[in-house]
Amino acid sequence: MKYISKSHEPTEFSSWKALENDHWKPRWDNFQAPEKPILHDALLKEQGYICCYCGMRITRTTSHIEHLQPRTNYPHLALEYRNLIASCQGESEEPPLVPVHCGHKKKYWYDTLLMVSPLEINCADFFQYPASGEILPTDDSYQTAAAETTIEKLALNINKLQKMRKAAIDGVLLDIDALTDVEIQQLAQGYDKPDGNGQYTPFSTAIIYLLKNYF
């Protein structure tokens, strides 16, 4: 999981909400084009085009707007920009193709004590990423319960995601033996930044963890 630094909401989104009057109120149920795609694109850009939870590459087609705190239980946050992030697996009223994970798997669940949020600046510290592609809870006893629960509730350790993480890691480790320690640390720093198109490398958090902890 990679920290998401929230910026200002799109002007179009603010203007749409400001249209509220005695006869009409902005609600998630009446939120649509052109403002909704604009918001979606802003979230993707803000996250460097990776899923807010698992870190895979996402586009508008392959993602959906996720309410960190579900709007069913927190209706007052339904249109709050800080509560909106982009998760993998596309928009759908029905469950997406299996296996379901991340936002669609989380669905109505949220726990202030046991949910590791990508809006927490230290969210990456809750997890470990071995070369096998797994995601494991940290050894820190104060963070273990939240990490374990988040992994389970979001299905972050399913075979599909393990294989994708392992493939991303293997691609980086292929030529690692030819690098010096300094070059390896510089490589890790590079993966912590978006490229020229504003995109982070998919599963960059797992890659950075391996480079910093095993080399």
DSSP secondary structure letters along 156-205: TTSHHHHHHHHHHHHHHHTTGGGS-HHHHHHHHHHHTS--TTS-PPTTHH
The pLDDT of 19-37, averaged and rounded, is: 96
Residues 68-120 pLDDT 10s: 999 999 999 999 999 999 999 998 656 567 799 999 999 999 999 999 999 99
The answer to the question of residue 4 being in a domain is no
Does residue 1 fall inside a structural domain?
Answer: no
Q: Which residues constitute the domain of residue 143?
A: 11-214
Total domains, the chain:
1
Identify the pLDDT of residue 162. Answer: 97
Mean pLDDT value of segment 18-45: 97
Res 42 pLDDT > 70: yes
**How many Cα atoms are found within 13 Å in the side-chain-facing hemisphere of 141?**
0
User: Do 135 and 157 contact (CB within 8 A), yes or no?
Assistant: yes
Whether 6 is covered by a domain: the verdict is no
pTM of structure: 0.93
- Other Cβ atoms closer than 10 A to 73: 11
For the chain, count helices (H), then strands (E): 7, 4
